[in-house]
Structure 1
Amino acid sequence: MNRTEKIVRGSLLSLWLVSATAFAQPIQQSGGSDVRSITDTVARDVAGLMAQPGFVESASSALQTGPENGVALQQVISHFDPQALTVVSRELSWKDQQLRERKGLPMQGPGLLQLRAYVPEGQSLADAAPGQLWVASLPRGNDRDWTTLTAYDAQGRAHLLDAKRAPDFPVLIVDVDTRRSVAEGMALVNAGLRERGLQSPERISIAANGASASLDITRLDRIRLADDQEPWALGAAEVFAVVSGLQVDKAEPEMVTVDMPYLDYENTDYTPQQALVIWGNYRFNAANVQLFEDDGDTNYQELLVALTTGVKTALGVFAPEYAVIADIAGAILKAMPSSWFANDIDYLDSFYLLQRGQAYTDRMGTANNAKVTLTPITLVE
């Protein structure tokens, strides 16, 4: 390394120390503590590490097998700074806890902050010059309305990138590990529904002679979402379903959430052979299925409140009649946080009054966004 290079490296290190200290202030002081505020703050933190010897190599190595899939940010930072000597390392766990709180998940648990990369075809993340690699966070609001997103360089300067036209250079992206958060969130919501008497135990049919038991299900054999031309910076989608109907022995809704972790991209056929509706708990042998996407902002405590208090309030007092089944699906949409539907951000589609024992081939949802093939099967013990 020549004298000029040493001077530049030393200057960058000084700038990073100043920037990292500034970026590490509590998120509340930055004007908000929502999910996007957290990921934006962390993106600036990570950008401050770009000029540090070894950080880009650590990030490139961690993302080597699948840059677009992402890796836990804690893993990258720990590999680069195992002694937690940097401000970023020391603050990361706290920010992960803040993110968990904003997502309505237990404060203690694996980190939800992740690092992904957009890499143009024919290029490699390892080819990017460390000092020239930018770190972006995703904007607020409906992704279909995004025009720009902000990326930060090693000196803390902000750069605007076109949200619709992908750059011709690699970009790191800090966002939420929605695959992990959806899995935890579905478990939390289902447990809350059971505690509140809005989700029944599985009703298994026993043969008259007691020799066998059976369970009827509707299996999801194929699903496809329409191509919505999402921005280049978005990663894989994380979709979940809410299955609803009337309880068998009470005038109460029956609801369950179902994680669909395989449903990553639009305009793609998936064949999960997943148990979607487990029958026996639905009066009139009919149920609704509604699809939602977690874009990273979903608070699962709010979702639980929406599916319990919100749905019951929207329904009011009702007689357990067949027509109410579709009303329950409408009440679910009405009870969801209004931000979910301001620009159709999270709601994907609905399938009303699916019947027990009925097969459906290439059935379109009411929003014409999802197409499914469903098969009725009976599991015998």
Structure 2
Amino acid sequence: MTFQALALPAAHAAGGTAATGAATAQGAATSQVGAAEDTVARQLAAALAGPDFRAQVRSAALASRQVGLASLTAGKSAPAALTGAVTAAESRIARAKGLGTAAGPLLQVRLGADSMKAALTAGTVPLVAVATGDDKAATVTAYDSAGRAHTLSATRTPKQAVYVVDLDEDKATAAGLAQVDKALGKSGLSSAAAPAATGGFWTTKVDSVYLNDDEEPWILGDAEIYSIVTGFGQDGKVRVDTVDMPYLDDDHTTYYPNQILVNWSNYKYNLADVVMMEADSDTNYAALAKALADALLTITDQGTYIPLVDAILDAIPSNWWTNDDDYVDSWYTLGVNSAGTLNGARGNGRLTVEPYWVAEL
């Protein structure tokens, strides 16, 4: 699922000069990921003409919500053309997302909606579509086993069975954030944690989280949410910590993660900012790390806390605000003593937090 994007002020929509290079990389990622997925979708549709492979995919799709394409193509019934397409696409996508080989296989296939299960009979040859990153798209292109393209409504769930080629965004986000943390550490934006005070340290814990959004097209999968926590480290330099929130799948749903959001022993001041983002198939984590480093390394400690949300939003490549709805919400000046329900600045998110003491063992 893609959360609705915010109409940003001109300064944010422009992306800022720090994001220019990253925007170019992000644009390249968009075309490469989409093209790779489209090639695999066409090959998968053609492969469904074979009854043995079609039965294998059907059985896997009915048994699991998401099925890794690498595992499907490892079987004897998978055509060589599909196996080769998946292998080539995995490599291309990993490069486009700035992941290298860290994430492993990412491509997967799923049935477009649970309501399609009744139509997925043994004799059915489903269409194959690609999960679009544009939640405003009115139509979706799907392919049949003869290579013909069909236009489907993006807002009305088809009655016929449609397989959707997508990425395992939970895995990609976890690997991507690890890459971001590593890159930011090399840039000096993720300094080593300060020694905890004797007995433990204070944190801010998320007791519950709720996100608003509009109704989403049937073809989109679950959201993949992460947060960027920023403040000034004990060394006086800007510090950035990423927090993965893989449980945040659906809008209009309250989740109770009991998750640590801020470790206050890492920060000089008793204030920090939080920017919540959604990862999608086109997110380039190398570009994200570079954009953040370019923008935040220019900010110095002036002896008092400086909010950093605007600097982060300015750093995000400008084309991330076009179709790719990456910005979810933000929380300014979260304090070490913050407690209760906190509404995001955008009004799209709501956190319930409390101070939480982490004691030494």
Per the normalisation by structure 2, the TM-score is: 0.86
Listed as ranges, the matches of 1:105-116 within 5 Å are: 105-107=99-101, 109-116=103-110
Does 1:139 pair with 2:135?
no
Shift of 1:358: 2.2
Which residue number corresponds to residue 72 of structure 1?
68
Maintained 8 Å contact 2:33/2:96: yes
Range moving further from structure 2, 282-291 or 102-111? 102-111
User: Shift in Å at residue 109 of structure 1?
Assistant: 5.0
- Partner residue, 2:96: 102
Partner residue, 1:298: 283
What residue identity is the alignment partner of 1:303? Answer: L
> In 2 relative to 1, CA 197–80 (structure 1 residues): closer, same or farther, beyond 3 Å?
same
User: Tell me, what secondary structure is at the counterpart of 1:275?
Assistant: strand
State percent identity of aligned pairs.
36
Query: Cα distance 1:78–1:125, how it changes in 2: closer, same or farther (>3 A)?
Result: farther
Q: Which residue of 1 aligns with 2:332?
A: 352
Say which is worse superposed, 241-250 or 259-268, in terms of deviation: 241-250
**How big is the shift at 1:72?**
0.9
Instruction: Please state if 1:127 is matched with 2:106.
Output: no
Q: 1:108 to 1:247 in 2, by over 3 A?
A: closer
Matched residue SS, 2:74: helix
- Which residue does the alignment assign to 1:242? 228
Q: 1:85 to 1:149 in 2, by over 3 A?
A: closer
Change (3 A) 1:308 1:108: closer
Residue 88, structure 1, aligned to residue 82, structure 2: yes
Q: Is contact 2:116–2:159 with CA below 8 Å preserved after alignment?
A: no
1:340 to partner: Cα distance: 1.5
Letter in 1 for 2:304: E
- Alignment CA distance shift 1:253-1:137 (3 Å): same
Question: Structure 2 stretches of 5 or more lacking a match?
Answer: 1-29
Cα distance change, pair 76–125 in 1 and its aligned pair in 2 (3 A): farther
Structure of greater relative contact order (alpha carbons < 8 Å, 6+ residues apart): 2
The one-letter amino acid paired with 1:356 is V
SS in 2 for 1:48: helix
CA contact (8 A) 2:47 2:53 kept: yes
- 2:258 corresponds to 1:277: no
Which residues in structure 2 correspond to 1:17-36 (within 5 Å)?
33-36=31-34
Tell me which residue corresponds to 2:315: 335
1:312 aligns with 2:297: yes
Per the alignment, in what secondary structure is the counterpart of residue 227 of structure 2? strand
On the 8 A contact 1:54/1:80 being kept in 2, the answer is no
Q: How far is the alpha carbon of 1:339 from its aligned partner? A: 1.4
AA matched with 1:54: D
- Distance (Å, rounded) in 2 between the aligned partners of 1:288 and 1:128: 53
Match of 2:355? 376
C-alpha spacing 1:306/1:203, structure 2 compared with 1 (3 Å): same
**Which structure's CA Rg is the greater one?**
1
Is the aligned partner of 1:226 residue 2:212?
yes
Relative to 1, partners in 2 of residues 1:368 and 1:343: Cα closer, same or farther, differing over 3 Å?
Answer: farther
Distance change (3 Å), C-alpha of 1:248 and 1:108: closer
Q: Letter of the aligned partner of 1:137 in structure 2? A: V
Whether contact under 8 Å (2:193, 2:266) holds in the other structure is yes
Counterpart AA for 2:53: F
